Structure 1
């Protein structure tokens, strides 16, 4: 199990950590700009650091495949999952802020923006409502909300890769008609990888824009709902703080929260 750098920082810091609440929170194990970065602090780590300060708690971040994050939360072996979009069936796996399977919009973490990236030779068309004229599957990362939306519409999907680079490589090679990916992760690849820029185009109409939340396991919520509520409130305050906005600016990330 991989731990993020910020988790190691909290675990190795001095003081009376044993007396502080401990939270083990999961995110996917890919590098995803600007949330999960290898060479510098990503925004998940920034949120964890600021939230830990506000709650006088220890927050440990662990990276796993997304589906495993959700399964481990359901089993109660981790306390929560960062960046979960809303699906009603996920309410069996954990608790959204607000409870009763009705997430509180004010306690969201950020808005996830998914765009369609299509092969230039493909006939794929997206009008903002319906995806038409696909002849090959649409590649998506496994376990993401957009994968479920495509399946519900009867659109064939390819969920065999979790890396945006590998997915766009398939689009470029014509193995799939297109891909639906998080814009902050995919857009830089179109600029950095020469053959991506020459073979792939991004549709200007977003496929989906939706809020994400910190979900907490049912086990941890039942153990101390008041403590969980305080964590959600503190993370929302961290999201709105000047220090967090400065961290976004330093990473060149200007999307609204």
Structure 2
């Protein structure tokens, strides 16, 4: 029996390694609620498309898992998924998940997925003053559960109700007078008013955005420890896609300017 030539052995091992890499999977969760144009249900939103394109470039099988927002964050923190997309930076999360940038924070905004803004919506009959620094409102402000604006409002001394799970629910509560105002993603809110005549006659959006925030792909501590290079390469892909004119053209039907 003749020994197998060494270069055949090496070639076989290389092929095995490539096959294993091609079959490697990455499980990322995201908020199951729609947030146009970033996260959609019937067709992929910009965030879902970005993650898919990044995984394709790295030859990784991507599995996207829609979950309740708080449940997704918890799944990453407990290592039940590899990571998540469309997550804002909160310092307290650094102990249980990994953002791009220094381990002690803050997150590297250059490797964000995108920037998004939220605005204040209120009934036209109710008085609301917002100058970019100070908010005057008579009553409780509603925010969607897990929205980053809740902490900003609380720091201002504003009463906050964060029990709503969607911006549609917030509009209904505004309409019924259960809350004095609502903080809603600017794109979602403006689209809702544009397409709903009954709401447009009753509710208005404050012209000055309330807050602007960067959204990231984050990873569990366990996955980042096992696959540090994949994590770094994925974040690089986020930056490249966000700044790519070609990618911007591909998603122009969803968002005019990807920031």
Fold match, TM over 0.5?
yes
Residue pair 1:169, 1:196 contacting (<8 A) in 2 also: no
- Give me the whole-angstrom Cα distance separating, in 2, the residues matched to 1:204 and 1:61: 35
Question: 1:26 — aligned with what?
Answer: 29
Secondary structure in 1 aligned to 2:80? coil
**Equivalent runs, 1:18-167 vs 2, <5 Å:** 19-100=22-103, 101-132=105-136, 134-167=137-170
- Give me the whole-angstrom Cα distance separating, in 1, the residues matched to 2:87 and 2:51: 16
Secondary structure in 2 aligned to 1:219? helix
- Note the residue ranges of structure 1 that are not aligned, 5 or more in a row: 1-14
Q: Give the deviation of 1:153 after TM superposition.
A: 2.0
Secondary structure in 2 aligned to 1:160? strand
Query: Of the candidates 229, 250, 255, which is equivalent to residue 253 of structure 2?
Result: 250
Structure 1 window deviating more from structure 2 (134-143 vs 236-245): it is 236-245
Q: Give the deviation of 1:241 after TM superposition.
A: 2.7
Assess, with a 3 A threshold, how the Cα gap between structure 1 residues 224 and 39 changes in structure 2: closer, same or farther. Answer: closer
Question: 1:3 — aligned with what?
Answer: none
- Note the residue ranges of structure 2 that are not aligned, 5 or more in a row: 1-17
**CA distances 1:106-161 after superposition (whole Å, capped 9, x unpaired):** 101100111111111111211110111x2221010111110111122221111121
Secondary structure in 1 aligned to 2:87? strand
Residue pair 2:186, 2:209 contacting (<8 A) in 1 also: no
Secondary structure in 2 aligned to 1:159? strand
Q: Give the structure with higher Rg (CA).
A: 2
- Give me the whole-angstrom Cα distance separating, in 2, the residues matched to 1:131 and 1:55: 45
Report whether the alignment pairs 1:207 with 2:210: yes
Q: Give the deviation of 1:16 after TM superposition.
A: 5.3
Aligned residue pair count: 241
Structure 1 window deviating more from structure 2 (198-207 vs 30-39): it is 30-39
- Give me the whole-angstrom Cα distance separating, in 1, the residues matched to 2:187 and 2:132: 20
Secondary structure in 2 aligned to 1:140? strand
Question: 1:4 — aligned with what?
Answer: none
Question: 2:3 — aligned with what?
Answer: none
- Give me the whole-angstrom Cα distance separating, in 2, the residues matched to 1:68 and 1:242: 34
**CA distances 1:28-73 after superposition (whole Å, capped 9, x unpaired):** 1111111122332311221122112210101111111111111110
